[in-house]
Amino acid sequence: MGYKNKTSVLVQLREANADRCPTFGHEVKDWSLPQWGNAVAGEVGELCNVIKKIDRGDFSLKEANKQFLIADEAADIVIYLDLLCQRAGVSLQTALVQKFNETSEKIGSDITIFHY
Ligand SMILES: [Mg+2]
């Protein structure tokens, strides 16, 4: 199933996430907000674990990036965050644009983002 005709990766992600969820044996709505929240937190923990290992010298940032360790966990976070937002009835894309621009206005920055 392709989502290539969608313009925003977050729009693609939202639709693809919902369509793929049954592959894991449930619909988005079947998990509670705490379950989705725990999934997000678990992925944040995995990212922090990678960062901890870099910090203590198990491997360098360069080595971690060669293996996509940070990228993979950051992506996992966003994937689960989108699912959490869907379950909560929130558009992650809209929320990002609104919050980013609201903060820019608050701090006097003219840097804004938009979605199309
Ligand atoms: Mg992960």
38 C-alpha to center of ligand 1: Å? 12
Distance between CA atoms of residues 105 and 57, nearest Å: 40
Q: Amino acid letter at 94? A: T
Q: List Cβ neighbours of 84 (8 Å cut-off, separation of 6 or more).
A: 33, 36, 37, 39, 40
Q: pLDDT class for 34, splitting at 50, 70, 90?
A: very high
Spans of all domains in the chain: 9-107
97 C-alpha to center of ligand 1: Å? 25
Query: For 62-95, how does the pLDDT look when each residue is reduced to its tens digit (9 = 90+)?
Result: 999 999 999 999 999 999 999 999 999 999 999 9
Architecture of domain 9-107: Orthogonal Bundle (1.10)
69 C-alpha to center of ligand 1: Å? 9
66 C-alpha to center of ligand 1: Å? 16
43 C-alpha to center of ligand 1: Å? 5
Please tell me the pTM assigned to this model: 0.92
